[in-house]
Amino acid sequence: MDTNKATTDASDMRETTVPFSDQQKEQLAEEALHWLVMLTSGEADQMQRNLCQRWRRQSSTHEQAFQQARQIWLSLGQSDVLQQYQYLDYQSSLLDSHHPMYVQHMQPLVYFFCYSAYRYVAAVLLAIAIVLFAYLQLTAAPQFRTDFGEMTVFDLDANNQVTLNTNSILSLPQPPQHQLVLHHGEALFKMASQAISPFMIYADNLVVHPATARFSIKKNDFETKITVVAGQVKINHGQQQHVLYANQQLVHRNGSTQNYIQHIDAQQDISWTQGKLYFSQSTVYDVLHQLSQYDTRKWVLLLDPQLQNSKINTTVHIAELDQWLDNLEQALPIRQKKLGPFIVFY
């Protein structure tokens, strides 16, 4: 027996009993994210994988830091690149709750597709689903989409123009219809006289009937905001009707029957078209969340609750986002760590 190897293995498995300070735990969290990004990059060799396993075995705190990083990775939808060797507790069965890909509510589907008695049925159902999806795609209304950090301008016709903000989806009408649907994101509409063929824009339960107007619509998972820059628009919401004029904004909680109208500076609200974002008495969390929509990297916020609820006033030039983030570190007790396609704030 190789006594040196036995000694090394025993040393790898020995657990450190000295308590870790908060600063040391922060350092371990950074190291864990570094290991995870390296392992999932596709460039890690066997020596690097072994070094990662040895790092994780140093203490239960090391392993806890790695598992927390793993949960962040999974929550960001990166589970497709995770490999078996990254988990000390890997189990061969997808039905085992310790398997890294285990999701409880998906158990019936996993069982259905993984066992041979059902494979032929599953193959037929999958083929039908593919054909149906292709048909729906061909018959669906054309869409304009923008990715993170992308904006686009297009003409509906000779007199009507749309500027689509970052991470947005807008369905266009099919003649002879004139209905547009903002599914997600933000768009600025510049509409000329619509006496002959009026366009209608749908966002959640709201229907916007513009005349000669310039206005924006912003829709996320929670609310929809309609802001008039110039002219006027009529908004229908069930039996309710509203007329908005310049510098007025309607705020609608998605799925609700309640709306309220407020006066704002509409030019500041659409400043994103000029490459700027203004924030007034906004929480740190809201500011970072909105700015993350303009960056192709994925932002992970691990901030103290009190800090992320602090309110700040700031102006951000979108093209100088990294410089603004560096200045933020100087102004507030926030640190950032760039790890491949991620920025972690803590």
Is 328 in the same domain as 241? Answer: no
Same domain, 296 and 227: no
Say how far apart CA 271 and CA 194 lie, in whole Å: 26
Q: Are residues 252 and 297 in the same domain?
A: no
Query: Could you give the CA distance from residue 241 to residue 235 in angstroms, rounded to a whole number?
Result: 6
User: Are residue 258 and residue 158 in the same domain, yes or no?
Assistant: yes
Peptide bond into 108 cis (omega under 30): no
CATH of the domain at 300: 3.55.50.30
231, 241, 290, 281: which is closest to 261 by C-alpha?
A: 241
CATH number at residue 193: 2.60.120.1440
Q: Are residues 254 and 167 in the same domain?
A: yes
Domain range spanning residue 58?
Answer: 3-102
Handedness of CA 128, 134, 135, 141 (dihedral sign): positive
> Which helix (H) or strand (E) is 149 found in, with range?
none
pLDDT at 256: 82
Q: Is 29 left (phi over 0), alpha (psi -120 to 50) or beta?
A: alpha
Cβ partners under 8 Å of residue 140, min gap 6: 171
237 half-sphere exposure, CB direction, 13 A CA radius: 21
pTM of the model: 0.64
**Contact predicate 113/126, CB 8 Å:** no
Task: Give the per-residue pLDDT at 62.
Answer: 87
Query: What is the rounded distance in angstroms from the CA atom of residue 205 to the CA atom of residue 259?
Result: 11
Q: Give the model's pLDDT for residue 132.
A: 64
What is the rounded distance in angstroms from the CA atom of residue 14 to the CA atom of residue 10?
Answer: 6
* Boundary residue ending a domain (102, 130, 154): 102
326 with 214, same domain: the answer is no
Domain count, the chain: 4
| Residues 251, 183 within the same domain | yes
pLDDT of residue 146: 92
Cα–Cα distances in Å, from 240 out to 243, 246, 299?
10, 20, 39
The pLDDT, as a whole number, for residue 157 is 80
Please say which residue of 266, 292, 327 terminates a domain: 266
Give phi and psi for 164, each to the nearest 5: -100, 125
- Asked if residue 327 and residue 313 are part of one domain, the reply reads yes
The verdict on 79 and 23 lying in the same domain is yes
What is the pLDDT, as a whole number, of residue 64? Answer: 86
Q: Which helix (H) or strand (E) holds 342?
A: strand 342-345
Do both 8 and 94 map to the same domain? yes
* Closest of 81, 75, 109 to residue 95, by C-alpha: 109
Query: Do residue 114 and residue 149 come from a single domain?
Result: no
Where a domain ends, among 78, 102, 126?
102
Question: Is residue 260 located within the same domain as residue 294?
Answer: no
101, 79 contact by CB (below 8 A) = yes
Low-confidence ranges of the chain (pLDDT < 50): 1-16, 78-118, 138-139, 196-197
State the pairing for strand pair 206-219/223-237: antiparallel
Q: Which of 182, 141, 179, 177 is nearest to 163 (CA)?
A: 182
